[in-house]
Structure 1
Amino acid sequence: MNSARYDHTASVLTNGKVLVTGGQNGISSLNSAKLYDPSTGTWTMTGSMNYARYLHAASVLTNGKVLVTGGLMNTALNNSELY
């Protein structure tokens, strides 16, 4: 990972890669998402979320997609996004 973040989620995908979403960097909330490939040790950017969020939840669904829900961005969020 090129930059520090905390209060994010990390979800192991069905292909073995790890999806990291949102969080904070000490200055602001993040809407970015990155994929980590443990077989190569590399990070790549993937599509950003519609909303910056931290302290949220992420669940890998049976179809392999990731449901990102709730969290905070100044106030509590009541929306979700599907990766």
Structure 2
Amino acid sequence: MFHRREAVPFAFVAEADAFRSNVTPPPRVRPSRSQLVGRVLVGLTVVGGLVGSLLLGLPALETDRTPGHSQNSEASQRR
């Protein structure tokens, strides 16, 4: 079988580390005041929804711990 051996130039790898682009990215666009207010309101709405669901859901997750109330079945009371 015939294998062709060619010299592979690895100089481009060394040059790639030193390469710096002269193209600068565009400057960041600063959000306007109304955009900032909108973002804050959306954030507060999300946080308020989470806190509200937590406050409304916690009573449903609590167990009834009244001392006089027990969950004995009728079969255990007839003994």
TM-score range, shorter chain: under 0.3
Q: What TM-score do you get using the length of structure 1 for normalisation? A: 0.14
Q: Which has the larger radius of gyration?
A: 2
- Normalized per residue, the structure richer in helix is 2
Report the TM-score, using the length of structure 2 for normalisation: 0.14
Query: Greater RCO between the two (CA within 8 Å, min separation 6)?
Result: 1
